[in-house]
């Protein structure tokens, strides 16, 4: 199959910050970009050549959108597989609708991992209050009750520490189909952002270490502080998952490092990932350029990391007392600011991120945390 060359048009389903950063790379490499989402003046739409405002379930709009582009990708996995199938009639969709179908639903994703022999926490499907009681006996406590579909950044899940909390957790999630999963008391969360090309080639950015606050990624440190053997194992898991799914594009594998040095796969994201944002400033090829190369059938770029780095998310909370003190943060050496073009800051909303480069990962983390803290300093 021939590559889709610069000058062609890339269609992006979804219009958030991931699409924005993909669009910036696409424009740099000479591609045109169209985006479709229900939002107007979106982060991606501000960069794209054409912004289509339509619901993902409006299959006629999706078909018309796909008929005007050369390839379709997505930056948001909660697009329906029906929309991917509708687009596929007019343009290749990469990653495929089948990948989307598996990874947008926690139950299908866990079953895929289980069938493939990939290590993950114990889990059971739950479809009723009675099944929840049975699942709890199999999984044990503490556990996490998660909705099967449409969950990210900690949404759609409740921690359950005893049988007395089961039914209230079930009602709190709306009594929908769910999974009950053992709560892993992990030592560290790591993720591997990797890409698979149209020709089956594989490239990865190596494991990074992640810390969360209120279930939202807070800081990523690259590389992760892992022994060499564990780092290699994490990459091998990512490679196996991308191969098993036949991914064309970028996919992030989130993992827990459990006691005893066991790696457990937690979640899959079939797109560039928050934990890979540091690659824009620290790697020869960013995760967004890699996504573009993969979906357009071009050779994958070198993922080599040029220096240690750390990324810190900027949530809307930083605007709670007015405009952040950008000057104070940018006084820090080798700190980069990325804002997403969102007009209204809200608590918990991802508005941007900072990346810091340094001689060591520890120094980069200290620098990015200090720069972020300076945002709330009085001028």
122-182 domain in CATH 3.30.1490.20? Answer: yes
Q: How far apart are CA 85 and CA 63, in angstroms?
A: 9
pLDDT above 90 covers what percent of the chain?
A: 86
Q: pTM score, two decimals?
A: 0.95
* pLDDT confidence band for 81 (50 / 70 / 90): confident
Q: How far apart are CA 131 and CA 216, in angstroms?
A: 30
Average pLDDT over residues 288-312: 98
Spatial CA neighbour of 179 closest among 132, 130, 114: 132
pLDDT at 32: 98
In this predicted structure, which of 35-49, 71-85, 184-198, 219-233 has the lowest mean pLDDT?
Answer: 71-85
Average pLDDT over residues 276-282: 98
Q: Where in the chain is the domain with CATH 3.40.50.20?
A: 9-93
Q: How far apart are CA 173 and CA 145, in angstroms?
A: 8
Q: Which CATH architecture does the domain made up of 9-93 adopt?
A: 3-Layer(aba) Sandwich (3.40)
Average pLDDT over residues 269-297: 98
* pLDDT confidence band for 215 (50 / 70 / 90): confident
Sheet holding 123-126, edge to edge: 123-126, 178-182, 143-147, 157-160
* pLDDT confidence band for 379 (50 / 70 / 90): low
Is 90 exceeded by the pLDDT of residue 151?
A: no
Average pLDDT over residues 78-102: 93
Is 70 exceeded by the pLDDT of residue 176?
A: yes
Average pLDDT over residues 61-66: 98
Is 90 exceeded by the pLDDT of residue 304?
A: yes
Q: Which CATH architecture does the domain made up of 188-374 adopt?
A: 2-Layer Sandwich (3.30)
In this predicted structure, which of 1-15, 150-164, 285-299 has the lowest mean pLDDT?
Answer: 150-164
* pLDDT confidence band for 232 (50 / 70 / 90): very high
Helix and strand numbers (H, E) in the chain are: 12, 16
pLDDT at 60: 97
Is 70 exceeded by the pLDDT of residue 299?
A: yes
Rounded alpha-carbon distances, angstroms, from residue 258 to 135, 185, 242, 266: 22, 7, 22, 11
pLDDT at 153: 54
Q: Where in the chain is the domain with CATH 3.30.1490.20?
A: 122-182
Q: How far apart are CA 126 and CA 130, in angstroms?
A: 9
pLDDT at 150: 61
Q: Counting beta carbons within 10 angstroms of the beta carbon of residue 241, is it exposed (0 to 12), middle (13 to 18) or buried (19 or more)? A: buried
């Amino acid at each position: 199959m021939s590559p889709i060359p610069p000058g062609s048009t890339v269609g992006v389903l979804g219009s958030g910050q991931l699409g924005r950063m993909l669009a910036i790379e696409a424009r740099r490499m000479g591609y045109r970009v169209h985006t479709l989402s229900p939002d107007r003046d979106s982060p991606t739409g501000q960069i794209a050549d054409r912004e289509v405002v339509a619901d993902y379930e409006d299959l006629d709009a999706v078909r018309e959108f796909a008929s005007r582009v050369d390839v379709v990708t997505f930056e948001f996995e909660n697009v329906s597989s029906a929309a991917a199938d509708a687009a596929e009639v007019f343009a290749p969709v990469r990653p495929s609708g089948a990948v989307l179908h598996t990874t947008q639903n926690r139950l299908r994703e866990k079953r895929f991992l289980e069938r493939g022999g990939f290590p993950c926490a114990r889990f059971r499907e739950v479809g009723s209050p009675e099944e929840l009681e049975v699942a709890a006996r199999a999984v044990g406590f503490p556990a996490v009750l998660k909705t099967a579909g449409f969950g990210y950044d900690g949404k759609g899940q409740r921690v359950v520490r005893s049988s007395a909390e089961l039914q209230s957790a079930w009602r709190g999630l709306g009594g929908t189909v769910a999974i009950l999963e053992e709560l892993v008391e992990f030592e560290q969360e790591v993720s591997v952002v990797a890409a698979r090309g149209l020709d089956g080639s594989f490239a990865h950015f190596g494991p990074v270490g992640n810390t969360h606050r209120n279930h939202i990624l807070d800081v990523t440190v690259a590389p992760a502080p892992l022994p060499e053997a564990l780092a290699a194992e994490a990459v091998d898991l990512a490679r196996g998952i991308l191969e098993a799914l036949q991914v064309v594009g970028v996919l992030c594998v989130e993992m827990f490092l459990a006691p005893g040095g066991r790696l457990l796969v937690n979640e899959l994201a079939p797109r560039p990932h928050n934990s890979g944002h540091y690659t824009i400033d620290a790697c020869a090829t960013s995760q967004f350029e890699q996504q573009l190369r993969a979906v357009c059938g071009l050779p994958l770029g070198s993922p080599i990391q040029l220096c240690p780095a750390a990324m810190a998310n900027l949530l809307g909370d930083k605007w709670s007392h007015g405009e952040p003190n950008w000057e104070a943060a940018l006084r820090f050496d080798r700190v980069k600011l990325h804002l997403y073009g969102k007009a209204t800051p809200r608590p918990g909303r991802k508005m941007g991120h900072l990346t810091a480069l340094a001689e060591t990962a520890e120094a980069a983390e200290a620098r990015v945390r200090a720069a972020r803290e300076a945002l709330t300093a009085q001028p």
